[in-house]
Amino acid sequence: MLRLPPFALHQPTTVAEAVATLKEFAPDVRVISGGTDLLPNMKLAQTKVSHLVSAKFLDELHGITRTDTHVRIGAATSLQTLAEDEDVRELLPALAYAASRIASPQIRQMGTLGGNISLDTRCRYINQSELWREALGGCLKSHGSECHVVPGGQGCVAALSADTVAPLIAYGAVAEMASVLGPRRAPVQELFQQDGTWHVRIAREELLVAIEIPIPAPQTRVAYRKWSVRQSIDFPLVSVAVRLDVADDVLTGGLVVVSALGPRPRVLTLERLAGSAIDESLAEALGQMVHERARPLPNLPYDAEYRRERMVVEVRRAVRVLAGLPERPLPVPR
Ligand SMILES: Cc1cc2nc3c(=O)[nH]c(=O)nc-3n(C[C@H](O)[C@H](O)[C@H](O)COP(=O)(O)OP(=O)(O)OC[C@H]3O[C@@H](n4cnc5c(N)ncnc54)[C@H](O)[C@@H]3O)c2cc1C
Ligand code: SF4
């Protein structure tokens, strides 16, 4: 049985108290929200820290509010609340759907949006016991000097595996952080960097407070699709969000966001397709575009070439959903 190592739990009741505690103990500290990612990683000795700062009693981090222009979601809002919230389901349906597809009902009750955004990267060589990793000689993320995914590579390419990130980027979400230096805002798209050992640009002494999402224009359509082996609980092995900005039934812009590749999502803009009809040929064009410009790595436990084909299929399916076209069956595996 894997045991949790000892740690001190801090339970602040204000954001000011929380960020002061983070500052005092950084870098030997983490925020804990639902603990559904952090605690397993501590048991695996993938994360080693002595202090945890709980988000549980920070009122500012809980709940969903709506104004005329934005939806604001506290970072410690549970995934289940997010999936069921009427405003989110009406205005940001792809985000509600992504939250509803995470893990299992129990994990969605505990897990939070902030924890999902800050979820540690995943790799077939790191999500193992310490004994298993040491037997392999470790890797760049775990006491070693070699990456087993990209031999000779200089950086860790473990995969961002959070389901909410692609739809948040597609909706143009902005993250609000706090630290002893004061508040800071950054588009979610800019929160990620190409370093699987610390891929989120949120410092250890910072607290993610909330996510603010502009209410999309009526003509904007967003869809999220995820592929995993077991539909009921697995992390995504490929995930895509497609945003189509439409006027008079033709495309004016948009994005394709592909995640579960490396440490940061791939974001492709659609300006060069402006003027296209929202139909089958657009589904084919976007499928072709991601095939050329995004490539899964052998970092997750499934064949990378199959994941590449699957990524194309999911992009086409997302466009078909947005165009109101019927789904097509999967191609026969070669
Ligand atoms: C069996 C299983 C299946 C899973 N399946 C999926 C899945 O399909 N898709 C998916 O996306 N995830 C999945 N997860 C991962 C996890 O449950 C979710 O990502 C969840 O949203 C994490 O939220 P949490 O509140 O539990 O995070 P925690 O475990 O509390 O924290 C995770 C990380 O975020 C940081 N953090 C948390 N809150 C803040 C904050 N406010 N400010 C700064 N840093 C913060 C923590 O320090 C930590 O580094 C799965 C987990 C398990 C155990
Ligand atoms: S991508 Fe390479 S360095 Fe990163 S966890 Fe996997 S094997 Fe280790």
Q: What is the pLDDT of residue 1?
A: 82
Say if residue 104 is in the same domain as residue 195. Answer: yes
203 is written with which tokens? 């410092």
Say if residue 224 is in the same domain as residue 304. Answer: yes
pLDDT under 70: residue ranges of the chain: 327-334
CB of 149 closer than 6 angstroms to any ligand 2 atom: yes
Say if residue 192 is in the same domain as residue 293. Answer: no
Helix axis angle, 304-323 relative to 280-293, nearest 10°?
150
Nearest atom, ligand 1, residue 207 CA: 42
Say if residue 188 is in the same domain as residue 305. Answer: no
Establish if 313 belongs to a structural domain: yes
Centroid of ligand 1 to alpha carbon of 7 (angstroms): 19
- Write the CATH number for 225: 3.30.390.50
Q: pTM of the prediction?
A: 0.96
Establish if 198 belongs to a structural domain: yes
Say if residue 197 is in the same domain as residue 276. Answer: no
CB of 299 closer than 6 angstroms to any ligand 2 atom: yes
Taking CA atoms only, the protein residue closest to ligand 1 atom 5 is: 103
Number of separate domains in the chain: 2
Q: What is the dihedral of CA 114, 116, 121, 123, to 10 degrees?
A: 160
Nearest atom, ligand 2, residue 140 CA: 3
Establish if 30 belongs to a structural domain: no
Of 178, 195, 214, at which residue does a domain stop? Answer: 214
Rg (CA), the chain: 20
Give the ligand whose atoms come closest to the C-alpha of residue 200: 1
Centroid of ligand 1 to alpha carbon of 107 (angstroms): 9
Establish if 224 belongs to a structural domain: yes
Distance from C-alpha of 84 to C-alpha of 310, rounded to nearest angstrom: 28
Sign, CA dihedral 87-92-97-102, equals negative
Establish if 104 belongs to a structural domain: yes
Establish if 227 belongs to a structural domain: yes
Establish if 306 belongs to a structural domain: yes
Q: What is the pLDDT of residue 328?
A: 65
Say if residue 87 is in the same domain as residue 177. Answer: yes
User: How many CA atoms within 13 Å lie on the side-chain side of 156?
Assistant: 25
- Write the CATH number for 94: 3.30.465.10
Say if residue 65 is in the same domain as residue 205. Answer: yes
Q: Domain residues for 75?
A: 59-118+159-214
Say if residue 163 is in the same domain as residue 266. Answer: no
Residue to substitute in 120, 127, 143, 156 for testing ligand 2 pocket (most ligand atoms within 8 angstroms of CB): 156
Establish if 256 belongs to a structural domain: yes
Say if residue 85 is in the same domain as residue 186. Answer: yes
Say if residue 80 is in the same domain as residue 183. Answer: yes
